[in-house]
Structure 1
Amino acid sequence: MTSDKPRVLIVAEHASAKFGGEAALPLHYFRVLRKRQIEAWLVVHERTRDELQLYFGDDFDRIFFVPDTIMHRLLWRIGQFLPQRLAYFTIWFPLRLLTQFVQRRLVKQIVQSHQITVVHQPIPVSPKEPSLIFDVGAPVIIGPMNGDMNYPPDFQWMQSRLVYLTLNAGRFLSNWLNWLIPGKRRAAILLVANTRTRAALPNGTCSDVVKLHENGVDLSVWQPKPEKPTQATRRPPNEPSSQSTKFIFVGRLVHWKAVNLLLTAFAQVAQHWPVELEIIGDGPESISLQQQAKALGLLSLHKSQSGDQTKSDPVEPYSSVRFLGWLSQADCAQRLQQSDVMVLPSMLECGGAVILESMAMGVPVIATNWGGPSDYLNESCGILIEPRSQQSFVNDLAAAMIQMAASPALRRSMGQMARHRVMSHFDWDVKVDAILDIYRDVLKATLPTRPLISPENTGSAISRV
């Protein structure tokens, strides 16, 4: 056995393409490692057993599952009665610790029986949350973590007082919890997505910290959008094109995604431009957002609550909003291919994998200049909107949409640069190249000092912070 051939155990709460968000990270690490014939195994909760069996086929015997106990189910159901963010940091926190408690015993057995040389815990991505994966017989790598997010200063009103106080209490207690549960103190390396997350690590954690982007893109799924005839020159602002511009939003319909502000901005654009907006996703805000779109006179064909019928409200032929509900990954990819611009007005986005997926397809992005989107986008491949106030945000968002609608050439140029940026920095194969280097560094146990270098300037996916 050599350091060039690590034997890797991925440990995570769950691994799923259907869950979205951080749940996809362990799935992709395991997928790409196995594609490269790296000896790798996966330990997750059994709630995703059926999905993983279909996804991995011949490698399914390399996956170990933590059973779904009565306590797991009870804590999950109690959390359903709370706001999602509050539930995550309160009721669901002991749920995750319960899973890790069972995993730790199982990990020790797998490390011994399969001669594991590196244990990697990619989620949870919170920098404050303690880890029970320590002293398991092999060096442990945790991350990339990405968190410590707050709402922009002028949007603090979007968070209830109860959630605010609970989050701050949890952050205050994190130093004590990470002393009591020493996973992040005893880790070989901690991975962080950005300097914000580096600063959020509790006191006394492992001092060897490496910067690595949290999200990646599977380029085999997110293919470039087909070329279509467009005018090469920018149309004057007051001269709309006869061809409709299609905008798209993909994500959970929760209040921090700010889809209500997107609808308000879209209504401004629709007064003067032939535009369409497709909203993909479901969530607690779904009904109120459809009511808002209807009040604005924009609601188009959409599914009924029963899911087996459709109804149509009278709208203009182009200026319309369609709510498509939850779609599979393949269907989302198809809808993105048929779109001109992706819009993500979220006020609390630590990552934003959907931005990278859109960029991979050559679709330019309009997003909030806050959190994850500002890590992924630059002026060459999208437009970032400053969250200064609600009214200015709506106006600036509308102006950005008009700018995109007015210039097919701009959309095409930004789309090409977006795909190039993803291929250079966010392709899962590029990311696994970086993680393999980290695994080898850990195994060599002599980590050379590297300066903090921006990956955008060097093409490297990692840097030490």
Structure 2
Amino acid sequence: MRAGDLRVLIVAEHASKRFGGEAILPYHYFRVLRSRGVDAWLIVHERTRDELITLFPNELDRLRFVKDMTLQKIFYQVGKLLPRRISEATFGLANQLLTQFAQRAMVLELVTPSAVVHQPIPVSPKFPSLMAGLGAPLVVGPMNGGMNYPAAFRGAEAWWSRGVIALGRSFSNVVNAVLSGKRNADVVLVANERTRAALPSGLRGRVLEVVENGVDLEQWPAGVGDRVHEPRFLFIGRLVDWKALDVAIEALGAVPGATLDVIGDGPMLDSWRGMATGLGLAERVRFHGWLTQEQCAEWLAGACALVLPSIYECGGAVVLEAMAMGKPVIATAWGGPADYLDESCGILIPPTSREAMVSGFAEAMRLLANDAEACTRVGEAGRIRVLEQFDWEKKVDRMMEIYRAVLPGLYIV
């Protein structure tokens, strides 16, 4: 089958290069597929309409947008009053199901005999899908989830929050039996065994392991930036509690002369800025707010390493982006970063306690601050790993195999 004979209907809650996170996944699938001449369509909520129109001015006839509903606006405002994980599991779920209900009607209008429906997000293995009975094969994922906090940090989350999440997970089998898109999907893709174990029961399709994240190597090029080695560390991410930026800030105090640039925004901004001031590090910890991916790449080019002390990171695309640019990464040995890194291309700090993490990050930061050769060696190894496993072009190569294989008369090899 030629690329032009295949129709791929990408269904996602949203797609955005600007906001990153899981929203960037459907953006990249659509971008790469269209660059190859595949008959791809993108069906998303209208919240990123303006951005997508700017990004794909020649593809406007292939973009379909779900209008924002009054009920969704109400759910969004109520959800903001709740802790993040509770909000996502309740009002966030309801909002996305409303979007999927509208998307399903759009998909039915676009289905052809050579069509495949691909639902790459949400990446949560428990989240239900309404994409059943479409008259076309359904591919879901790759998903990445099944996460818990490290044992030493589980007390940081309120008991009632843990209880609600546990209840939601146990109830997910019932929800997925009623809303049966995922259960009846032809192929379900998972990023790792942790996610496979978290899937709802009763799946009828094949479950395959495929990497969740990829890297646009043109967006994150190696060999740019200052050649002079400076002890400049960088954090990129949402400023939320589980990112544990406080660990890196405290660790910085034990690394004389080093600086930490922080890119991102969120509810912990004032708290962590105040912490840096209280520790006498206000001039060495610099908060830059939210920046575009192009600006992030510029800051990363001048850094000696990326730090990511997150204790609840299912994926961590920023790790791959740093690796693509040939930058070493210091991260928590938990979740996504532990899937991407090993001792050859990064430094992983076990989350045995907060004190141990602060000590481990401080030691790793001192090493990289004082050893330019180590930075180069580890960074180059990371770049090679990305080229081999996480290039978006290779990722789409694998997805093309799967798309074709789920059409009648073909099978996955």
CA-to-aligned-CA distance 1:411-435 (integer Å, 9 cap, x gap)? 0011111111111111110100010
1:455 maps to: none
Describe the SS at the equivalent of 2:94: helix
1:86-97 aligned within 5 A: 86-97=86-97
Q: CA deviation at 1:227?
A: 6.5
Match of 1:350 in 2: 314
**How many equivalent pairs are there?**
413
Deviation at 1:105, TM superposition (A): 1.2
Please state how far the C-alpha of 1:11 moved relative to its aligned partner.
Answer: 0.3
Deviates more, 1:216-225 or 1:124-133: 216-225
- Name the structure 2 match of 1:305: none
Distance 1:372 1:405 in 2: 25
Q: 123-132 or 81-90, which moves further after superposition?
A: 81-90
1:261: Cα distance to partner?
A: 1.2
With over 3 angstroms needed to count, the CA separation of the structure-2 counterparts of 1:63 and 1:422, relative to structure 1, is same
Q: How far apart are the structure 2 equivalents of 1:32 and 1:448?
A: 22
* Residue of 275, 281, 287 corresponding to 1:292: 275
Q: Does residue 391 of the first structure (1) align with residue 355 of the second (2)?
A: yes
Q: Distance in 1 between matches of 2:82 and 2:220?
A: 34
Kindly provide the amino acid, as one letter, of the partner of residue 298 in structure 1: L
1:122 pairs with 2:108 = no
Aligned to 2:43: 43
Matches within 5 A, 1:198-277: 198-226=196-224, 228-229=226-227, 244-269=230-255, 273-277=256-260
Which stretch shifts more, 32-41 or 2-11?
2-11
Matched letter for residue 266 of structure 2: G
1:33-432 to 2 correspondences below 5 Å: 33-112=33-112, 116-226=114-224, 228-229=226-227, 244-269=230-255, 273-300=256-283, 320-432=284-396
Could you tell me how far apart the structure 2 residues matched to 1:222 and 1:3 are?
27
> For 1:87 and 1:381, how far apart are their aligned partners in 2?
36
Partner amino acid, structure 2, of 1:44: V
Maintained 8 Å contact 1:221/1:333: yes
Residue 285 of structure 1, CA deviation: 0.2
What is the letter of the counterpart of residue 249 of structure 1?
A: F
Answer yes or no: is the 8 Å Cα contact 2:185–2:205 preserved in 1.
no
The root-mean-square deviation of aligned C-alpha atoms, in Å, is 1.5
Cα deviation, residue 2, structure 1: 5.7
Amino acid at match of 1:285: M
Give, in whole Å, the separation in 2 of the partners of 1:275 and 1:158: 29
Deviation at 1:38, TM superposition (A): 0.8
What stretches of structure 1 move > 2 A for 4+ residues in a row? 1-5, 225-230, 444-449
Q: CA deviation at 1:158?
A: 2.1
| Letter of the 1:135 counterpart | G
Task: Confirm or deny: 8 A CA contact 1:147 1:197 kept in the other structure.
Answer: yes
Task: Specify the SS of the correspondent of 1:366.
Answer: strand
Tell me the TM-score normalised to structure 1 length. Answer: 0.86
* Cα distance in 1 for residues equivalent to 2:226 and 2:34: 37
Normalised by the length of structure 2, the TM-score is: 0.97
Letter in 2 for 1:276: T
Deviation at 1:60, TM superposition (A): 1.8
Alpha-carbon distance in 1 for matches of 2:3, 2:53: 30
Cα separation, 1, equivalents of 2:49 and 2:291 = 21
**Post-superposition shift, 1:4?**
8.0
Match of 1:19 in 2: 19
Q: C-alpha deviations, 1:128-166, integer Å up to 9, x for none? A: 111001111110000001001100001102212222111
Instruction: Say if 2:14 and 2:47, in contact at 8 Å, map to a contact too.
Output: yes
**2:225, 2:298 within 8 Å by CA — same for their partners in 1?**
no
Q: Structure 1: state its 5+ residue gaps.
A: 231-242, 301-319, 450-465
- The 2-side partners of 1:14 and 1:445 are apart by 32
Code of the aligned partner of 1:253: L
Inter-partner Cα distance in structure 1 for 2:371 and 2:214 = 29
TM-aligned CA deviation for residue 107 of structure 1: 0.6
Check conservation: 2:46, 2:68, Cα contact below 8 A: yes
